[in-house]
Amino acid sequence: METIAIKHTPVLHEVEIKLVASKSESNRALIINALSGNKSVLTNLSQARDTQTMLRLLSSEEETLDVLDAGTTMRFLTAYAALGTKNRILTGTHRMQERPIKILTKALKQLGAKVKHLKEDGFPPHQVIPIKNQKTEEVSIKGDVSSQYISALLMIAPSLPNGLVLKLKGKIGSRPYIQMTLDMMKLFGIKSTWTNNTIEIKPQPYQEYPYVVESDWSGASYWFSFVALAKEAKIKLLGLRQKSLQGDIAIVRIMNQLGVMSTFEEDGVVLQKIPHQKEVEFDFSDCPDLAQTVAVICGVKHIDCKMTGLESLRIKETDRIKALKKELKKINVKLKETEEGVWEIKSKYEPGQPEVSIKTYEDHRMAMAFAPLCTHQPVIIEDPSVVNKSYPSFWDDVAKATS
């Protein structure tokens, strides 16, 4: 098995990192542009495998579209196929076929598409037969399972003959990602209203708009972690905006409590060390992709941390809660559910330990969340190529700061 070894590096080089572009923005821009007849020029698209897969499949004439392990691509293309001119089969890796999609396919069926699950009910692979006559414009969907189901429906809404009234049931998770979708649609000319738990979009055409994709705040979070954990560090991340559409800009607020100050400049943000709090409490409902990073930081720095809003982590690339518990245990850190939906980090971590090998479970975020551990001890990351999913140049950037 391929591995990467990172030597113990307590002091980081002062470097500038040109971050990868946001795959969240890129994938939305690609779907919106396809729905508008590819009228717009999109620049700085992500090189991440998920986005490159989306690009390839949007231009494919094949009946079967294999999204590999790209969850966003699976969800967005499933909705997009419902407005197509031909039947499509969507499939993916073994893990992708274990990730539920019934909430989305049920909504598409209510709108008038026909969807057949070809193996297990509610899971890929599935065949989508496009909508001929829209059956209803009102659909209800759970708000706390995956914002990608919601975003997928919202992006096709203006192109539906009768538009869409989307009612979100219960607690709404990852709200900033839904807002990002609506904000990007607005740039391409789409009007929407979001009142309480109801989003309404009338039928209307997408307009041409030259869109420049911002750097990825999710990818930035690992550099915040490096700075938080290192003895000395000053890192500048290029291409990030203080007024970002991305929900994971929440890392700025979170890391201010965990020992990192952010100073915005014209071309990016400078990260520097500051004192950290001893006890923290975070709700990750709006930014679940940051949870693994924060768990590692708190474990290593002996910060008592209470975490909520982790529900969606179980249906990601892996069961991230289960994976986190196993790998944190290797460094004497416990992730424990103290009451339903409430998780706490308890640490007996001791720095200067011998080399530790971290399993990544086919999950890019496991690899990148544990890489900053090298500031306290040598680390081996198993299957390091998983980062290609979102941040292909990650290990090159790590080498700049640690070599």
Q: Which residues are identified as catalytic?
A: 289
Q: Cβ contacts of residue 326 below 8 Å, gap of 6+?
A: 359
Distance CA 290, CA 292 (A): 6
Distance CA 382, CA 361 (A): 9
Distance CA 366, CA 347 (A): 19
Residue ranges of alpha helices (H) inside 238-346 are 250-258, 291-300, 320-329
> How many angstroms separate the Cα of 65 from the Cα of each of 78, 153, 244, 272?
10, 19, 32, 44
> How many angstroms separate the Cα of 314 from the Cα of each of 70, 98, 296, 298?
16, 11, 18, 21
> Which tokens belong to 268?
């990016």
Angle at 78 between CA 89 and CA 29, to 5 degrees: 130
Q: Give, for 186, the enclosing helix (H) or strand (E).
A: helix 175-187
- Residue whose entry in the numeric block shows the structure tokens 């037969």: 129
User: Using the 8-state DSSP alphabet, how is residue 119 labeled?
Assistant: S
Query: φ, ψ for residue 198 (rounded to 5)?
Result: -120, 125
Q: Give, for 129, the enclosing helix (H) or strand (E).
A: strand 126-129
User: Which of helix, strand or coil describes residue 56?
Assistant: helix
The answer to whether 255 and 228 have CB atoms below 8 angstroms apart is: yes
Which residue type occupies 226?
F
